[in-house]
Structure 1
């Protein structure tokens, strides 16, 4: 990697700021001042800016306990962004792995690893997404079967994939789906003549929302959690 690009990746420098710092002799590599933007940084090189060691920010994978009232976006809107809840460097590089509605709470994955995101959300990987829903009205007796059969929702040409519905009590249910169509769960309950009052995502694949995270708090995924969701299949290449 070129030295000027390395500086941009490891600091808040723009390319012009990086070149200015180089020209002023503020950058050292292995203790020696280097002013050439085209210098190729090796893995073993120790790069510093005014004596402060610099390092590339690696790929990041986080879970957030999303509170209600936040949008899954990087852009300013009528609601605050979930990115505002993160205390990490260069958060503008991050994106959400799928989305939750403004009023939906719970497990949200955030990363800057595009290949990992693709593997998590790819329909062929059939990743379970588990939600707890509270409802305005009691569930009908045939609700479990209708979810299992797959439903043709309004404005859709094909039925959604079969979903698992676990009745917790007459107005509370746990739903497991493997896709994420627009407002899908709310629309599925709407097809039963019901309305979702609250919706909370508990799990994606084998990754469960950390019970120690209060709403608005986040943590990095463990290596095992990252691998469980985005590990490559045999024969698959990056």
Structure 2
């Protein structure tokens, strides 16, 4: 019988079995003593939020293989602004550095704006340290983006293509799964998906 878990990935851990520098997602599951568990897809070290973990390889493939076009939604905080033209570009495809094709269409919305001095205290200390040299009045944009691809650092690279630098990123949905907001970062629960 296969096992499925919903994990609220915290900032700072990596989606690997072992790492010499950082804690791994799988460290959180070590007490389960199931060596067949692995993350469904990847989130980079600085990205938080929904990550599924399972020992069901077919389930993993159906959620991550590009041919299935599973939607993934992220909440982002970025330095910069998003004009109507920027939103149009993101929704219709942008050219990523090192890629010869436009990204697949995405859904993007701006949910709020602010300035760096207001947002800086809410950021992870590592990001605070990296961002504090910017001017306090630097514009900040909050938004939501849904993509169907999973290129490396895709959302970060998409926003960079329109002049924004993501300083906080959290995945909240993947396919039919939505992050249970009662899970604190680093917590997980067993789920029972209908397959």
Name the CA distance, whole Å, in 2 between partners of 1:91 and 1:214.
22
Runs of 4+ in 1 over 4 A off after TM superposition: none
CA distance in 2, matches of 1:91, 1:73: 15
CA separation in 1, counterparts of 2:109 and 2:88?
11
The structural deviation recorded for 1:177 is: 0.2
C-alpha deviations, 1:126-154, integer Å up to 9, x for none? 21100000011222231221111111211
In the alignment, what sits opposite 1:31? none
Structure of greater Rg:
1
> C-alpha separation between the residues in 2 aligned to 1:150 and 1:76?
34
Closer, same or farther: CA 98–79 of 1 in aligned 2, 3 Å: same
Displacement of 1:77 in angstroms is: 2.5
Separation in structure 1 between the aligned mates of residue 82 and residue 22 of structure 2, nearest angstrom: 32
Matches of 1:60 and 1:111 in 2, distance apart? 6
- Pairing of 1:1-238 with structure 2 (within 5 A): 58-86=1-29, 88-170=31-113, 171-222=141-192, 226-227=193-194, 231=195
Task: Indicate the structure with greater strand content.
Answer: 2
Structure 1: runs of 5 or more not aligned: 1-57, 232-238
TM-score, reference length from structure 2: 0.82
Residues 61 and 111 in structure 1, CA contact (< 8 A), matched pair in contact too: yes
Q: CA deviation at 1:121?
A: 1.1
SS state at 1:186 partner = helix
- Shift of residue 172, structure 1, vs aligned partner: 0.4
CA contact (8 A) 1:107 1:202 kept: yes
Distance in 2 separating the partners of 1:87 and 1:203: 25
Size of the aligned set, in residue pairs, is 168
